[in-house]
Amino acid sequence: MGERTVNLYYAEDDAAIAEAVRVYLGNHGFRVSVFEDAGQIKKALQIHLPDVVLLDWNLPPGEETAGEQGDNLCRWIRARWRELPIIFLTVRGDPCDMISGFRNGADDYVTKPFDLEVLYARIQALLRRTGQQEDRLCCDTLTLDKEKMQVFDGEREIALGRSEYQILLLLMENKGRTVTRGQILEQVWDREGNYVNDNTLTVTMKRLREKLGHPACLKTVRSFGYRMEDSI
């Protein structure tokens, strides 16, 4: 089982900095989505939660969020998603020092200009501290919290049965790789001594798809198995 892709939202209006960060982190297993103002990232967050958020302290507010800079945006995020990791990017001398930044809800901050290797290390350290890398799996708008055994589509929680949850967990842990029908039968049923026929898997997968709203990220590899794969 390889390392999974880490989804990162980056709110930054400086195109050159944003592109440098996107390319560097992309080469280190991150899927980076860049947003130019507060309005854009707020809309995106209400559709799909990433693993971590980078916020520029001097972020422009956007058309629908007049007067909202990085600190207010951070408070808005923290009021809705208490455990979502947030890192501020600041210019030396900004009011976002350690105390004010943490008071507004950030978990860490990095001062511009920064070394990309340092930024990467700080993100990795934060993900380890918060347990996000191990405990939360994402694919498109779907999020699976392994610790709480909960599944969400955006902010909507989806109630799954045991077998449905175990199948989704197996597929999410192997995102980007095809899992055969035989592997699913073995992992979900056979290991516990509950030997079932192939039709049980077909019926359970149909029920899982319906509960998830037939997501585009859940692919069928005909006559072979299934694969989770980001489609947006």
In a domain, 135, yes or no: no
What is the rounded CA–CA span in Å between residue 194 and residue 173?
A: 22
96, 111, 130: which is the final residue of a domain?
130
Burial 160-195 (b: 16+ CB within 10 A, else e): beebbbbbbbbbbebbeebbebeebbeebbeeeeee
**Does residue 127 sit in helix, strand or coil?**
helix
Considering the domain architecture, whether residues 12 and 49 belong to the same structural domain is answered as yes
Stated pTM of the model: 0.57
Query: pLDDT tens across 159-183, in order?
Result: 999 999 999 999 988 888 899 999 9
Considering the domain architecture, whether residues 51 and 92 belong to the same structural domain is answered as yes
What is the rounded CA–CA span in Å between residue 223 and residue 230?
A: 22
Determine if residue 67 is left, alpha or beta; phi over 0 gives left, psi from -120 to 50 gives alpha, anything else beta: left
The two beta strands, 6-11 and 52-56, are: parallel
Query: pLDDT tens across 132-160, in order?
Result: 555 677 787 788 888 788 898 877 899 99
Considering the domain architecture, whether residues 97 and 172 belong to the same structural domain is answered as no
Residue the block writes with tokens 């967050």 = 45
Residue-averaged pLDDT of the chain:
82
| Range of the structural domain that residue 211 is part of | 140-228
What is the rounded CA–CA span in Å between residue 173 and residue 133?
A: 11
130, 153, 181: which is the final residue of a domain?
130
- Number of structural domains in the chain: 2
Residue 89, domain CATH? 3.40.50.2300
Residue 155, domain CATH? 1.10.10.10
